[in-house]
Amino acid sequence: MKIKKVDYNIANQRLDRYLRKYFKPYPEIKLSDIFSRIRKWAILVNNKRVEWDYRLLLGDEIKFTNIKTWDKKPDKIAVPKENKIKQLDLKDIKKILIYEDENWIVFNKPAWIVAHPSNRHENDLCMNDYLEQYCKLTWIRDGSDTFKPSFGYRLDKDTSGVLVWAKNYEALQYLNEIIRDREIDKEYLAFCLWDAPQHEIIEKKLERFYSKKFGSSHMKVSENWQDAKTEIWNQRSKNNPILWEVSLVKVKLYTGRMHQIRVHLASESLPILGDIIYWNPAANRKLYKQLKISRQMLHCSRYGFVDIDWKQLSFEAPMPKDFEKLFL
């Protein structure tokens, strides 16, 4: 463990900007590595996990933990980005394109594709690669060398559905603002175990914690943390010869906490099928062996909001084929 005390030369800086300077002598540590370590509790301030935009105060203590794991050499050589995205054909990209106008690009994100690059998926195609290749082949930014289309929210790697990118800085600011003010209308579809109630509102506070088993941040129900509200409707239940009884539920989010749907449903004894964190591993193996389903059955089916020009926008992604398998 290393400890750095914040003095007058460091105070009042944003944490991520200070860390960029701190790691400048180490070119092997990229900006994505810094953000990853902040998220995974490897960089703490006053023994607490803080966000990347935390403003450092005089006297704060920055702790760098798990130092031994920082110097590991990569298991494989990184593939140059230009070689990676060459395999993306415009026709294939357009198959998942839902909508585009002067402000927004909307994709139906497939399962098993991460939203943006990370250390674990450095050589894998991500949705940012799809976006970059699409813009390269079809669209030129309006004279901006500093702004690239960016998304205001993420979907987990194995969650499919609607993902929205802002095409300009004004749109990105607006999207971030309405997300913060909870002015987004979000609906998901989820397959869960057992017979779900016809209608239920789940209001349970959630707390983030670090799991040593998985090496990442997870969530749990807690009475002393962030408010979270989820509403569900049972769309259909049926007996499944492999998994006993399952239900397809429509989910409406009123808050956007990490893993909120997964934790809330699991807390009501309605775990999402295929969830490797909040469900039974043995049942997951059964799901894969019998139906070849190897991801959590969660899909962002609709994402709506009032646009900058007061036009109502609503984007929908159809039910994925692996969802249909459970009703065959």
- pTM reported for the whole predicted model: 0.74
pLDDT of residue 283: 82
Residue 248: name the closest of 318, 198, 287 by CA. Answer: 198
Where is average pLDDT lowest: 23-27, 168-172, 184-188, 278-282? 23-27
Are the C-beta atoms of residues 321 and 278 closer than 8 Å to each other?
Answer: no
Mean pLDDT (the chain) is 86
pLDDT of residue 75: 46
pLDDT of residue 143: 45
**Residues facing residue 61 across a β-bridge:** 5
Give 282-290 contacts, CB < 8 A, sequence gap 24+. Answer: 283/193, 283/243, 286/242, 286/243, 287/242, 287/243, 290/242
**Residues facing residue 189 across a β-bridge:** 250, 299
* pLDDT tens by residue, 242-278: 778 899 999 999 999 999 999 999 999 999 999 989 9
List the domains of the chain with CATH numbers. Answer: 2-71 (3.10.290.10), 74-181 (3.30.2350.10), 185-328 (3.30.2350.10)
Residue 51 confidence (pLDDT) above 90 = no
Q: How many angstroms separate the Cα of 311 from the Cα of each of 98, 107, 305?
A: 17, 20, 9
* pLDDT tens by residue, 88-138: 889 999 999 999 999 999 999 999 898 877 656 566 788 988 988 898 888
pLDDT of residue 81: 56
pLDDT of residue 76: 47
212 or 54: which leads in pLDDT = 54
Are the C-beta atoms of residues 115 and 130 closer than 8 Å to each other?
Answer: no
* pLDDT tens by residue, 136-164: 888 655 445 556 778 888 899 999 999 99
CA–CA separation, 133 vs 47, rounded Å? 41
* pLDDT tens by residue, 180-216: 999 999 999 999 999 999 999 999 999 988 887 777 7
Residue 209: how many CB atoms within 10 A of its CB? 12
pLDDT of residue 22: 87
Are the C-beta atoms of residues 291 and 168 closer than 8 Å to each other?
Answer: no
- Our CA angle for 188, 97, 260, nearest 5°, is 20
Which residue in the block uniquely carries the two structure tokens 């129900």? 221
